[in-house]
Amino acid sequence: METQGSTNDIQFTGVSIYQGKTLVLSDVSFNIPHGEFIYLIGKTGTGKSSLLKTIYGDLSLRSGQASVAGFDLSKMNWKTVPFLRRKLGIIFQDFQLLMDRTVEDNLEFVLRATGTQDKSLIKLKIDEALKRVGLQSKGFKMPYELSGGEQQRVVIARAIINDPVAIIADEPTGNLDPETSDDIMQLLRYLNATYHTTILMATHNYTILEKFLGRILKTTNGKLITEQVPA
């Protein structure tokens, strides 16, 4: 359940992370202070996605202590996970947009699913989210009418529409060309700097790490380690 607020939006202490019966990461300890931008790197299969899934409640916490957005993960269950996720914005690599409805309808779906029913408030939140991601004039479009970069901007708008404490981004530039990737990174850094939204971003793209500096967490050999920020 929710705990008292902390300056650390995400904090893990001595956590072991499992996929089924398989131990993926052991003795995971780190903290992400409010407003920080953190990269999560590591080879495929080293536990990045498992860590992210633990953070947003898709994998249950079996050992250790962890809090995310004020919630104690050791006390989470299927009833309380939705309340945790309302505090988080989750960005997936493969967009997961509803292709049979407009951009605005995609965003309205999220708002209604998380309890917002007032029509005027829904419109206000949609307009603000699209403005933040630079898609003010695209709300009437269908997702398939947009470029890959624009679709990812819709995904980011969906992630921020409930003013999350933190954004969890799993390879948000993985399907984009280098120029579009830079645009998305600039948008994420803007949201981080302007609205002080904490961002944890998993990536394989080391060019991004050199262009957009930030603290790095790395999964390797069943552990999570902190790497130096590139000079």
Contact of 195 with 178, CB cutoff 8 Å? no
CATH class for the region spanning 1-87+166-172+197-231: alpha beta
What distance separates the 2 farthest-apart alpha carbons in the chain?
51
Of the pLDDT bands very low, low, confident and very high (cuts 50, 70, 90), residue 205 is: confident
Task: Name the token pair of 119.
Answer: 């029509």
pTM of the model: 0.91
- Cα gap 231→225, rounded to integer Å: 18
- Considering only CA atoms, which of 86, 30, 27, 36 is closest in space to residue 56? 86
Q: Give per-residue pLDDT as tens, 91-101.
A: 987 778 999 99
Q: Give per-residue pLDDT as tens, 169-194.
A: 999 998 889 999 999 999 999 999 99
Q: Give per-residue pLDDT as tens, 104-114.
A: 999 999 999 88
Q: Which residues have C-beta within 8 Å of that of residue 168, sequence separation ≥ 6?
A: 52, 55, 56, 88, 89, 90, 91, 200
- pLDDT for residue 206 is more than 90: no
Contact of 167 with 129, CB cutoff 8 Å? no
Confidence (pLDDT) at 161: 94
Q: Give per-residue pLDDT as tens, 42-70.
A: 998 899 999 999 999 999 999 999 999 99
Q: Give per-residue pLDDT as tens, 18-35.
A: 998 999 999 999 999 999
Contact of 28 with 220, CB cutoff 8 Å? no
- pLDDT for residue 5 is more than 80: no
Q: Which residues have C-beta within 8 Å of that of residue 223, sequence separation ≥ 6?
A: 25, 26, 27, 28
Confidence (pLDDT) at 4: 45
Confidence (pLDDT) at 8: 78
Question: Which three-class secondary structure state does DSSP give residue 202?
Answer: strand
- Cα gap 119→173, rounded to integer Å: 33
Contact of 197 with 166, CB cutoff 8 Å? yes
